Structure 1
C-alpha cells in the first residue's frame, strides 16, 4: 500500500470508530476485508488511527471536521506534511483537499483534553497539567517485566537481543525493561513464549513492588482482569494466591499465563469463601486517565455520569475488600487514574466512614515519570 492508500484506509476505519465501533474491532474488520494489506501496512494504518484518536480534538480543529477525513487532514497538517502528496484523488488515495480549512486549536483542544474534565485534571495535577496532557498525546512506551523466577534481567535482554528486540532498564521497577526496537516482535519471541518476560507497564510493576508481600502470605487480587499484577505478585514471593474479577471471562487466559510463568494461581468466583487474606489488592475500575495513551477511545467516551457510576463502584469494592482482610492484613487500593477524586479523595471518604483503618503510605505516578499514571494507597487496621 502507498502512503496515500494507507491514509484512505485510516480514514475509513476512523469513520467506523466515530460511529461507535470499538477501535480494535474496527481495525480487525478492516484487516480481514483487506487481504492485500501486509503486516507493515496494517501496522502503519493502526498507528495512524491511534494517533488520530489520541489527538482527536486538535486534529479535528486543524482538519476542519470531526470525521475520519478531518482527523487525518489534521494529522498531516500538524506534522507539516504536504497534503497534495497524500490527498491526490488518484487510485486509492483520498480525494483532493479542496477548500477544507482548519483552524488553530483552543487551549484545551491543543492539549486534547475534554473541556468538562479540564478543571478536575488541573486541580489534581497542578502545574503539571499542561505537560501531563501533552504527554498523553504521544504513543506509550512498551515495557516488559522480567520473570526473575525464570531468568535474570540481563539474560532476558540477551534472549530478546538475539531476536532483534532491543531493550533498556527502567528506573521505576527493578525488573522492568523498556523496548526500544521491534516491539511488535515480542509476542512471537522465545523469551515471551517461555515465560521469561511479560508485557506490563513499568508503573504497574512499580505498584506491585510497593506491596508488602512476604513468603507464604494469603493474597487476593480482587480486580484481576487479565492477571498482569497477579503474575507480578507471584514472581515476587511464594504466595497462596487467588484471583477474582466480576467478569470472569477477563481471566480466561490467566491459567495458561500462570503455567507459562511457572506459578500457581487459584481463580476465586466467590473470594469470601477463602477469606481472610493477608493482603487484598483492588485495582479498581476508574477513568483510566493515566493510561489514555493506550486507550484514547476511552478518554472521549468518558462522561460525568460514568464518573459518578465509577465512584459508587470504587466505594463498593473498597468496602467488600476491607471485610476480607485479616486482623493484621493489608488493603491495597490502586487506580490508573490521574484524578484526585478517584485517588486521595476516595481514600479520604473511606477513612472517614471507617475510622478503624488508616493509610500507611501511598504512591503517585504520572506519565511524566516515564510510564502510565498510577495511584496506590496501602491501608491497615488501627
Structure 2
C-alpha cells in the first residue's frame, strides 16, 4: 500500500468508528478484508486511526468536517504535510480536495483544542487547575513504551544488555528503580527472549512507581483485590522475594493469562475466587475512567459520559468498603486508579476517611503524564 492508500483506509475505518463500531473491531474487520495489506501497512493504518482518535476534535476542525476524510485531512495539516501530495485520487489514494476543502478548516478552540469533550474539559479545569491544559495536551500524543525489570531474574544492567543484543535499546527512568524506557525497537519487545523468559514485563513507569510506594515486605500476606491482568501482582511479588501474592478479580477471565505470566516471572501467585481471612496489605486498583492512560486507549475519551463517571464512583466506593474487612489490625488498604480526575481519586479518599474513623491515611500521590508516565493515583490507609 502507498502512504496515500493507507490514509484512505484510515479514513474509512474512522467513519465506521464514528458510526459506533469499537475501534479495535473496526481495525480487525478491515485487516481481515484486506489481505493485500502487509504488517507494515496494518501498523501504519492503525497509527493513523489512533492519532485521529487522540485528536478527534482538533483534526475535525482542521479538516473542516467530522468525517474520516475530514479528520485525515486535519491530521495532515496538524503535521504540516501538504494534503495535495496525498489527496491525489491516484490508485487507492483519497480523491482530490474540493474548493471548499481547500478553503475550509480552522484551528480548534476551547476544550476542542484540548481534544476533550466539553464536560471532561471542565472537569480537568476544575480538578487540575494550572496542570489541566498540559495534562490534556499530553494525552493527544502517543505514549512511550516502558518495561519493568523483573528483579527475581535480572538487574537493570543485565536486562538492558539482553535487550540490546536483540536490537531493543533502553534507558533507565527516574520514576522507578525497575523502569526502562524503550528508545528503539519497541515493536520487537513482545517477541524478544528477554520478554519471553521473564526478565522484563511491559508496564508503565508510573504504574511501577505505584507499587514502589506500597509498604511491602517479604513474608507479608498480600492481596491484589482487583488484579486484572496481574501487572501489579507480579510487581508486588518481585518486591517480596517472589511472593506469594493472592490475586482476585470480580471478572475471573481478566486473570486468564496470569498463571503463565507468573510462571515465566518465577513469581508465586495464588488465584482465588473469594478472598477469606485477613491480609497485611490489600491493594484495590479499581475500575476507573482510565483518563490517565487515554494516550494508549484514546477511544475512551469519546465513549465516556458523565453517567459513566457517576457509576464508576459508586463502584469504587463499594469495592474499597468491601475490601477493608480483609485488612488485619495494623495492616494497610491501598487504593489506586489510572485516572487524573479528583472525583475518582482525592475525593474518594476523603469520603473513605470521613466514613471510617478507624483508619489513618499514610501516603497520597497523583502522577500526571508530565512526570514521565501515565496518569496514576495511589494512596494507602493504615488500620488502627
TM-score in terms of structure 2 length: 0.97
Task: Output aligned runs, 1:313-352, within 5 Å.
Answer: 313-352=315-354
Structure 2 unaligned runs (5+)?
none
1:65 & 1:40 partners in 2: Cα distance?
A: 28
Misfit runs of 4+, over 4 Å: none
Structure 1 residue 107 displacement after superposition: 2.2
1:66 aligns with: 66
2:40 aligns with: 40
Query: Mean alpha-carbon deviation: is it higher for 155-164 or for 199-208?
Result: 155-164
Partner SS for 2:329: strand
Structure 1 residue 12 displacement after superposition: 1.6
Count residues with an aligned counterpart: 380
The answer to whether residue 97 in structure 2 is matched with residue 94 in structure 1 is no
2:18 & 2:307 partners in 1: Cα distance?
A: 20
- Structure 1 residues 19-48: Cα deviation after superposition (integer angstroms, max 9, x where no partner): 222222222222222222122111111111
Structure 1 residue 240 displacement after superposition: 2.9
The answer to whether residue 381 in structure 2 is matched with residue 363 in structure 1 is no
Q: CA RMSD in A?
A: 1.0
1:174 aligns with: 177
2:323 & 2:274 partners in 1: Cα distance?
A: 12
- Structure 1 residues 269-317: Cα deviation after superposition (integer angstroms, max 9, x where no partner): 111x2x2111100011111111110110001111010011001100000
The answer to whether residue 6 in structure 2 is matched with residue 3 in structure 1 is no
Aligned partner of 2:149 among 146, 150, 153: 146
The answer to whether residue 282 in structure 2 is matched with residue 310 in structure 1 is no
1:160 & 1:342 partners in 2: Cα distance?
A: 37
1:220 aligns with: 223
Partner SS for 2:226: coil
1:117 & 1:92 partners in 2: Cα distance?
A: 38
Aligned partner of 2:132 among 107, 129, 132: 129
1:280 aligns with: 282
- Structure 1 residues 216-264: Cα deviation after superposition (integer angstroms, max 9, x where no partner): 1111111111110001111111433111111111110000000100112
2:43 & 2:185 partners in 1: Cα distance?
A: 12
2:221 & 2:97 partners in 1: Cα distance?
A: 62
2:263 aligns with: 259
2:193 & 2:336 partners in 1: Cα distance?
A: 32
1:346 & 1:65 partners in 2: Cα distance?
A: 40
Partner SS for 2:188: helix
1:40 & 1:262 partners in 2: Cα distance?
A: 35
1:21 & 1:206 partners in 2: Cα distance?
A: 35
Structure 1 residue 381 displacement after superposition: 1.8
Structure 1 unaligned runs (5+)?
none
Whether the 8 Å CA contact 2:328–2:383 is kept in 1: the answer is: no
1:120 aligns with: 123
